[in-house]
Each structure stands twice: as structure tokens, then as C-alpha cells.
């Protein structure tokens, strides 16, 4: 009996070693829960090309957009846990949806194993250039002096820039109304025309207007600041201590994928994300690389689920 058990253990070790040595021996699919052309899709294609070069097999994108990322997430969950289906998803499906929907056909932490963080995309608090404040403290004071009289825009209820503003409202004690638009571009148009007073938005979307002096930037939501706009203060330092909010993306695999495969993918990701050409390409999207181990990635995602869940609950935001 002991010999049989030892033989089984030996076979298990050998199979794990084989998985690490031979993987991948065919093409690998990266499910993206958004349509082609969206930021997460561009990230997946950029990283997929790097993994193809370093691991010797084709890493190709499978776009499964719809329902706020839910369709793609469920598809990835139901895939075989053999390392040949990966998931590249953003903070919306991974960390915001769990607090936003009463029922989800997936559980981020239970149904997936984290491989690596990919990028963070800082968001900036902006107003029109003629807004009567010149720094974050003055903006907060102005809003407090006009309770319920100002509004802010977002790309839609439950999106990151909506919830980031709700986080700001709560932590700064502000009374300001939400005006949801159908997409970030429409919200920016509303801001430029004066229909709303302010909003949070990513760097690439606001930069053309900032360069023309049409928009004023007050702060960046990420506590780490922004490499693209290093002179812009963080919300944390400019008047809202502890504030930290950003969009991000991570690479995951279905739960049950062999640990050697996860480790091999993580090592390949670190090589890809350290590539200066990749960093430059992602930087053009307003994204900043995030280097992490699988455990660090899991810890980060878990904390983000709690952070956004608390904001959603406080703001009483919920979708069916």
C-alpha cells in the first residue's frame, strides 16, 4: 500500500513537472469580456503577442462582450482548467460587478486563479477651465457652499468613473448629483458644454482637452500618482486622505489550473511587462504596468472587491 501511494505521488510530481516543461504545446485562448477595440482588448492583444514570442505558441484573443463583462466571465469560468484558456479582465467585471449585481453566474475569487496584474489606469478629477476653483481644497469648499446645486457626469451607472466620484463624495462629505451618460465620450461632451460641473476620467480621454486649456485637472485618484502627469497631485495628498481609486486589468485562469502552469505564465508576464517597448505602448493608452506574483494579484483583487463593494453599498447603487 505504501509503495502504491509513493508511486502515485511520484507520478503526480512528474505530471506537474511535465506540465511546466511542455506547456504550452498548442495555441492558447485569451478570453476578453469586452468587444474588440476596447482598452482591455488592446491590452490582451499586446500581451498576447509577447507571450507568443516568449512561449513559442500562439496566444490569441477571443472577444466575448456583453452584459457588463458577465458573458465573457461566465464563458471563462466554464472553460477547461488546462492552461489553454486565459482571462484578461478589468476591474469592472472582476471587482465592481460582485457588489453591483444581486446575482452573478461567477465568483471572481472562487472560480478563478490569479496569474498576474497587468496595468493600472489612473483617473483624473476634471472640470471646465472656468470652474471657480484652482485646487482640490477650493473645489471641495465650493461644492460644500452649494449643496445639491452641482452635478457630475459619468459614462453610466455602475462604471468606475461613477463609483470613483461616489467614493469622493462620501470621503469628502459632498452633496452633488449624478448625471449618467451613455459612454465616457458623451459624458465628456456634457462636461465641455457645461451640462455637468465635473467628472473623473482617464488620461487619454482628457489630455486633448487639457492641452487646449479647455479642461482643468485637480487631482489623480490613484494614491501612486500618474507617470503621464507627474505634476498632478493625488487625491490622497491634496485633501482627501486615504483616497485611492483606479481602473486596472489582470490575467487569470479557471480555478483548478495546475500551479506549474500558473507560475510559468506569471514569469512570462513579468518578462513581457518589463519590456520597454511594451511599457511605451501601454503608456500611450494611459496605462502603467503592475508587476506582481499570483499571490499578490489575488490579494489585490480581494481588497478591490471589498473597496468597491463598500462604495456601492454606501451609494445604494445596484443593478438587477
**pLDDT digits 0-9 by tens, 275-309:** 999 999 998 888 899 999 999 999 999 999 999 99
pLDDT band at 7 (very low <50, low <70, confident <90, very high): low
Mean pLDDT computed over 186-212: 91
pLDDT band at 207 (very low <50, low <70, confident <90, very high): confident
Beta strands 215-220 and 288-289: pairing type? unpaired
Q: For residue 320, what pLDDT is reported?
A: 59
DSSP class of 175: -
pTM listed for this prediction? 0.86
Cell numbers 479647455: residue? 214
pLDDT tens across 110-125, in order? 999 999 999 999 999 9
The two counts, helices (H) then strands (E), for the chain are: 14, 10
The CATH 3.40.190.150 portion of the chain extends over: 28-120+246-315
User: Which secondary-structure segment (H or E) carries 29?
Assistant: strand 28-32
Mean pLDDT of the chain: 91
Beta strands 151-154 and 85-90: pairing type? unpaired
Is residue 131 a contact partner of residue 198, using CB atoms and an 8 Å limit? yes
Matching CATH number, 122-238, of 3.40.190.10, 3.40.640.10, 3.30.70.2860, 3.40.50.300: 3.40.190.10
Mean pLDDT computed over 93-100: 95
The CATH H-level (homologous superfamily) assignment of domain 28-120+246-315 is Bordetella uptake gene, domain 1 (3.40.190.150)
Cell numbers 499586446: residue? 46
Give the number of residues written for the chain: 320
The CATH 3.40.190.10 portion of the chain extends over: 122-238
54 backbone dihedrals φ, ψ, rounded to 5° = -85, -25
Q: Quick check: 104 pLDDT over 90?
A: yes
Amino acid at each position: 500500500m505504501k509503495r502504491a501511494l509513493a508511486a502515485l505521488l511520484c507520478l503526480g510530481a512528474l505530471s506537474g513537472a511535465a506540465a511546466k516543461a511542455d506547456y504550452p504545446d498548442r495555441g492558447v485562448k485569451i478570453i476578453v469580456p469586452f468587444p474588440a477595440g476596447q482598452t482591455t482588448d488592446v491590452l490582451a492583444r499586446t500581451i498576447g503577442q509577447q507571450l507568443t514570442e516568449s512561449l513559442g505558441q500562439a496566444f490569441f484573443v477571443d472577444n466575448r462582450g456583453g452584459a457588463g463583462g458577465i458573458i465573457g466571465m461566465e464563458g471563462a469560468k466554464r472553460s477547461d482548467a488546462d492552461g489553454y484558456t486565459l482571462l484578461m479582465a478589468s476591474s469592472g467585471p472582476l471587482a465592481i460587478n460582485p457588489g453591483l449585481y444581486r446575482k452573478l453566474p461567477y465568483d471572481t475569487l472562487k472560480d478563478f486563479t490569479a496569474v498576474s496584474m497587468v496595468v493600472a489606469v489612473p483617473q483624473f478629477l476634471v472640470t471646465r477651465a472656468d470652474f471657480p476653483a484652482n485646487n482640490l481644497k477650493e473645489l471641495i469648499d465650493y461644492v460644500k457652499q452649494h449643496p445639491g446645486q452641482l452635478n457630475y457626469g459619468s459614462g453610466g451607472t455602475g462604471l468606475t468613473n461613477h463609483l470613483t466620484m461616489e467614493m469622493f463624495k462620501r470621503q469628502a462629505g459632498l452633496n452633488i448629483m449624478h448625471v449618467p451618460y451613455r459612454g465616457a465620450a458623451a459624458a465628456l461632451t456634457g462636461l465641455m458644454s457645461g451640462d455637468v460641473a465635473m467628472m473623473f476620467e482617464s488620461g487619454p480621454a482628457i489630455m486633448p482637452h487639457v492641452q487646449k486649456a479647455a479642461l482643468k485637472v485637480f487631482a489623480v485618484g490613484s494614491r501612486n500618482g500618474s507617470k503621464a502627469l507627474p505634476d498632478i497631485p493625488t487625491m490622497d495628498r491634496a485633501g482627501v486622505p486615504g483616497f485611492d481609486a483606479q481602473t486596472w486589468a489582470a490575467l487569470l485562469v479557471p480555478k483548478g489550473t495546475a500551479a506549474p502552469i500558473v507560475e510559468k505564465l506569471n514569469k512570462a508576464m513579468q518578462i513581457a511587462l518589463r519590456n520597454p517597448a511594451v511599457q511605451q505602448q501601454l503608456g500611450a493608452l494611459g496605462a502603467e504596468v503592475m508587476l506582481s506574483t499570483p499571490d499578490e494579484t489575488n490579494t489585490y483583487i480581494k481588497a478591490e472587491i471589498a473597496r468597491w463593494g463598500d462604495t456601492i453599498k454606501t451609494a445604494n447603487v445596484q443593478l438587477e
